[in-house]
């Protein structure tokens, strides 16, 4: 097993643009033209090729690019016991674009045994070597909680869990079961992707939609923090769990806007993760002052390179922003990555595969110029 742990000085979030052959195979499977086994064979080949490219770029983390998923979050939720896949009559509303219509709803009490993502991880783990380690990305427990209360899902959730405390305990326990099964499979690096914090800082969109239902940012933040932290209790000491926070990433659009300021006292100050991968690629995320809430010794991966557009950022501007952030978090605890993945859903962002890899080459070059070429794994 590799000795490395995330994050690295130059890093990435996890998802990559799907090759056309994979998109075609998934479309054929959805149309019942090929079997599940035939689809998985195409996925395996595409993931193998992607990992070779990740290594060729000089990165120390490998992922499956989320190539087996339609969505960054829902596919995982569908794999939990007590949750089923559904289609709504509309999608999520992003800036200028509506997503596809997937969601999930409860069918019974939640548990995490036999989750298919463990087998997905084992496929990636076989490619670890002395220079790389496999990372497993998952939607955070808070993200699943939010989906279970999305519109009419809330009514069905309350049929099974009238008591909110029982729901939070069971959801956290289901996640902990998945973490431990991944650990038993050899996983030592888990990343919890979490858009709930970016959602509840959006005063113009999210809170206007929830006017009159009695919810407050404080109440929501406390629930999300509680379920995330409950899931992290009593884990093995050598299991690294980090989180990634952004404001939506679909076909180069976004879902919400707002600085971290109001949620920083909750998630930055109190969430029991080791590192924060944070969106900071444009003005929607605000400035760096809220980083002062992050306890000393925890790591921050600055998402200063955008995955939404192909244009390459100015090296000097990115460096200035890194040094600006170092006023609040020591430079030795800062790292660099894109703000999100390149294809949080299978549609992907509006750039080519080569433009995607050019972004990662830029991340690596800047990191080596800031921290030195021999500091990538420190």
Spacing of C-alpha 169 from chain mean position: 22
Q: Please, what's the largest Cα pairwise distance for the chain? A: 56
Q: What is the pLDDT of residue 99?
A: 83
Q: What is the pLDDT of residue 201?
A: 93
User: Counting runs of H as helices and runs of E as strands, what totals does the chain give?
Assistant: 13, 12
Are 301 and 7 in contact by the 8 Å Cβ rule? The answer is yes
CATH of 20-371 among 3.40.50.720, 3.30.428.10, 3.20.20.210, 3.40.630.30: 3.20.20.210
Q: 181's torsion region: left (phi>0), alpha (psi -120 to 50) or beta? A: alpha
Q: Is the whole model's pTM more than 0.75, yes or no?
A: yes
Q: What is the pLDDT of residue 96?
A: 79
Please state the domain extents for the chain: 20-371
Q: Return the half-sphere exposure (C-beta side, CA atoms, 13 A cut-off) of residue 113.
A: 1
Q: What is the pLDDT of residue 206?
A: 82
Q: What is the pLDDT of residue 377?
A: 57
Q: What is the pLDDT of residue 2?
A: 58
Cα–Cα nearest to 65, from 50, 44, 45: 50
Cα–Cα nearest to 67, from 121, 129, 5: 121
pLDDT in tens, the chain (378 residues): 556 899 999 999 999 999 999 999 999 999 999 999 999 999 999 999 999 999 999 999 999 999 999 998 999 999 999 999 998 888 777 787 888 788 999 999 999 999 999 999 999 999 999 999 999 999 999 999 999 999 889 999 999 999 999 999 999 999 999 999 999 999 999 999 999 999 999 887 787 777 667 889 999 999 999 999 999 999 999 999 999 999 999 888 888 899 999 999 999 999 999 999 999 999 999 999 999 999 999 999 999 999 999 999 999 999 999 999 999 999 999 999 999 999 999 999 999 999 999 999 999 999 999 999 766 655
């Amino acid at each position: 097993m590799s000795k490395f742990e995330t994050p690295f000085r130059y890093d990435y979030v996890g998802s990559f643009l799907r090759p056309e052959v994979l998109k075609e195979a998934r479309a054929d499977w959805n149309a019942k033209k090929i079997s599940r086994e035939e689809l998985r064979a195409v996925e395996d080949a595409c993931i193998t090729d992607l990992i070779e490219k990740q290594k060729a770029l000089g990165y120390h983390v490998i992922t499956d690019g989320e190539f087996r998923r339609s969505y960054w979050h829902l596919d995982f939720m569908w794999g939990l016991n007590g949750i089923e896949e559904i289609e709504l009559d509309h999608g999520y509303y992003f800036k200028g674009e509506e997503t596809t219509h997937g969601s999930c709803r409860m069918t019974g009490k939640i548990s995490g045994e036999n989750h298919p993502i463990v087998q997905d991880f084992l496929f990636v783990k076989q490619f670890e070597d002395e220079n790389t380690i496999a990372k497993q990305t998952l939607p955070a427990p808070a993200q699943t909680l939010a989906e279970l209360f999305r519109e009419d899902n809330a009514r069905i959730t309350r049929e099974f869990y009238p008591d909110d405390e029982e729901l939070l305990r069971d959801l956290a326990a289901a996640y902990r079961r998945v973490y431990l099964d991944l650990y038993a499979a050899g996983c030592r690096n888990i990343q919890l992707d979490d858009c709930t914090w970016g959602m509840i800082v959006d005063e113009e969109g999210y809170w206007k939609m929830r006017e009159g239902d009695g919810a407050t940012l404080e109440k929501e933040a406390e629930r999300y923090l509680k379920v995330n932290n409950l899931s992290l209790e009593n884990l093995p000491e050598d299991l690294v769990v980090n989180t990634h926070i952004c404001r939506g990433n679909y076909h180069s659009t976004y879902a919400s806007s707002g600085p971290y300021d109001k949620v920083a006292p909750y998630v930055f100050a109190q969430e029991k993760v080791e590192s924060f991968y944070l969106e900071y690629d444009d003005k929607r995320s605000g400035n760096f002052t809220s980083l002062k809430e992050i306890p000393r010794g925890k790591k921050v991966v600055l998402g200063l390179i955008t995955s939404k557009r192909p244009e390459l950022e100015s090296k000097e501007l990115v460096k200035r922003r890194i040094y600006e952030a170092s006023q609040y978090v020591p430079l030795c605890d800062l790292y660099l990555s894109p703000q999100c993945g390149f294809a949080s859903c299978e549609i992907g962002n509006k750039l080519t595969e080569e433009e995607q890899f050019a972004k990662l080459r830029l991340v690596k070059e800047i990191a080596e110029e800031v921290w030195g070429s021999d500091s990538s794994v420190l």
